[in-house]
Amino acid sequence: MTEPESNAETFVVRVWLEGTGDSEGPRAWRGHVTHVMSGDRRYVESFDAIAAFIADHLRRPDAGTGGTRG
């Protein structure tokens, strides 16, 4: 069953690998996640931080209403 678009939330997640893995330090995943409707963006250093950002947005009172946050 397909949910109506008015109940949808959209996020863009971009991740990349930083570092060379040599004497400069270990390689690490970095990135950012953006909530499309509000433009709210958070830079992250772990996949858990991505999940926390999304969960925070989904717990908000106007989540899934298609409204913007101000």
Tens of pLDDT, residues 18-63: 887 777 678 889 999 999 999 999 999 999 999 999 999 999 877 7
- pTM attached to this predicted model: 0.72
Residue closest to 65 by CA, chosen among 42, 57, 16: 57
- In which band, very low, low, confident or very high, does the pLDDT at 70 lie, cut at 50, 70 and 90? very low
The ranges assigned to domains in the chain are 9-59
Buried b (16+ CB within 10 A) or exposed e, 38-65: eeeebebeeeeebeebbeebeeeeebee
